[in-house]
Amino acid sequence: MENVSTTKEKRDWKKTLQQNYSFLVVILMIIIFTILEPSFLNSRNVTNLLSDSAPLMIMAAGMTPVLIMGSIDLSLGSMCSAANVLMLQLMLKMQPSIENPYIIFLLAMLLTLLFGAFGGFILGAIQVKLKVPSFIASLAFMSVWDSVALLISQMPVKIPKAMKMTTNWYKIQLGPIGLPLIIAVGLTLIYHFVMTRTAFGRGIFAIGGNERAARIAGIRVDRYKITVFVLNGVCAALGAMFLLVKANSSAPTVGEAFTLMTISAVVAGGTSLVGGSGSLVKSIVGVFIISIIKNGMNMVGVNVYWQKVVYGIIVLLAVTISTDRTSRSRIVK
């Protein structure tokens, strides 16, 4: 009986670690970077860190349900780049004919979000209608959107001075927390509610757990998949808008690093790469893990190329820790 009790305690301990390791990593990273760089926790750096987390959080919110249903989108960063340059070019095209800069900004943002939704719809439709795996389809679209971004604009372009007042909202601060982060967290929590409290969300988890069983149960799998990719495209475009406003300029390669960063953040938050489990709330924690590591490495002076190595290692470690090896039905794909 004692051995059985000990074994159960070990399993409970491992399960607790799998469910909460992301919170422990945040604390550990803060301690490490504070030791390496004492100014890491000063108010200015904390404000910058939280502000930089907003675009990544938006994109992680879109990617989380994609991974939960057992798919992936490798074109996220490229879509972000294309949407980023598209929005500014739309603003420049509208400027001569529309006097109010705020109307120009809102119209350009709406059209950019529609562009993101259209891109997500195409990707989802190709997967469900042509039966092309999301890995292959999104890999192809990564090249497509990279080219589209460069066709729209081959170099960085600044927002004109006459329109810079439309970006002032990004600088609004409530203590150390900026308005962009509040918006990002709010949208993520709304999506979390949808995923946990609606039939749509339960259907996504069911598809990720066992797609064939979900179809037998009457879940409209194709429609659900396309919808998730559409929302992911919208989140990529919204993240692009955040990056545009933050930098006051667009760049055709601005989203280049965000595919790996976003997947790293979502996986670090405990979402399974094989589908069926995950949480948008924990993805928020995963975003802070990546943001802390990125900010800390910049302060310590780590080369940007080594940072990509670190993100790759994070994915491997997170998958290793979070994978449930006790389930015989779990297939490694």
Model confidence at 332: pLDDT above 50: no
Which tens digit of pLDDT belongs to each residue from 49-101? 888 899 999 999 999 999 999 999 999 999 999 999 999 999 999 999 998 99
CB–CB of 29/310 below 8 Å?
A: no
As a whole number of angstroms, the distance between CA 111 and CA 119 comes to 12
Which tens digit of pLDDT belongs to each residue from 101-114? 999 999 999 999 99
As a whole number of angstroms, the distance between CA 185 and CA 44 comes to 21
Backbone φ and ψ of 3, nearest 5°: -65, -40
Q: What angle do CA 332, 144, 231 make, to 5 degrees?
A: 65
Q: What angle do CA 20, 21, 23 make, to 5 degrees?
A: 75
Average pLDDT of the residues of the chain: 87
Which tens digit of pLDDT belongs to each residue from 254-282? 998 899 889 989 988 888 888 888 889 98
Which tens digit of pLDDT belongs to each residue from 146-160? 999 999 999 999 999
Dihedral, 130, 134, 135, 136 alpha carbons, nearest 10: 20
Model confidence at 5: pLDDT above 80: no
pTM above 0.85?
yes
Name the residue ranges covered by the structural domains of the chain: 42-160+170-255
H or E element: which one contains 178?
strand 177-178
As a whole number of angstroms, the distance between CA 308 and CA 304 comes to 7
The pLDDT value recorded for residue 87 is: 97
Question: Which residue in 315, 275, 283 sits closest to 68, CA to CA?
Answer: 275
The arithmetic mean of pLDDT across residues 180-200, rounded, is 95
